[in-house]
Amino acid sequence: MINASVVCSLLTEKFSQSTGSRKISLQSPSAREEEVTNHLAELLNTIINCHEFTVESEISLDYISDDLTEDEIDQYAVSEDSDLDPNFNDTDNDDSDDLLQKFSLDYMKKVIECYDERNPLTGKHRRSWKGVKRRFKRVIHSSYISRFRAYIEKGGTRTQKWENINNYVYHKFEQARESNLLVHDLDLRRWGLEKAKQELFHEFTASEKWLFNFKIEHNICSRKVTK
Domain limit, last residue, from 108, 135, 154: 154
CA distance 177 to 157: 31
> Has residue 173 got a pLDDT over 90?
yes
Q: Which of 15-19, 172-176, 183-187 has the lowest mean pLDDT?
A: 15-19
CA distance 177 to 163: 21
**Identity of the residue numbered 31:** A
Express each pLDDT in 117-149 by its tens digit: 988 888 888 888 888 988 998 888 888 888 888
Within a domain: 213: yes
Mean pLDDT for the stretch of residues 59-69? 67
Within a domain: 215: yes
Within a domain: 29: no
Mean pLDDT for the stretch of residues 193-204? 90
> Do 110 and 168 reside in the same domain of the chain?
no
Within a domain: 15: no
Mean pLDDT for the stretch of residues 35-46? 81
Which tops the pLDDT comparison, 100 or 103?
Answer: 103
Which tops the pLDDT comparison, 76 or 156?
Answer: 156
Within a domain: 70: no
CA distance 206 to 72: 26
> Do 168 and 184 reside in the same domain of the chain?
yes
> Do 142 and 166 reside in the same domain of the chain?
no
CA distance 129 to 191: 42
Domain limit, last residue, from 138, 154, 170: 154
> Do 219 and 164 reside in the same domain of the chain?
yes
> Do 167 and 217 reside in the same domain of the chain?
yes
> Has residue 92 got a pLDDT over 70?
no
For residue 179, the domain's CATH number is 1.10.10
- Give strand pairing partners of 155: none
Secondary structure, 3-state, 59-126: EEEEECCCCCCCCCECHHHHHCCCCCCCCCCCCCCCHHHHHHCCCCHHHHHHHHHHHHCECCCCCCEC
Neighbour tally for 90: CB within 10 Å = 16
> Do 162 and 142 reside in the same domain of the chain?
no
Tally the domains of the chain. Answer: 2
> Do 212 and 176 reside in the same domain of the chain?
yes
pLDDT-derived band at 214 (thresholds 50, 70, 90) equals very high
Domain that holds residue 120: 97-154
Q: What kind and span of H or E run contains 23?
A: none
Express each pLDDT in 19-30 by its tens digit: 554 555 566 778
Total residues found in the chain within this entry: 227
What is the residue-wise DSSP string for 161-192? HHHHHHHHHHHHHHHHHHTT----HHHHHHHH
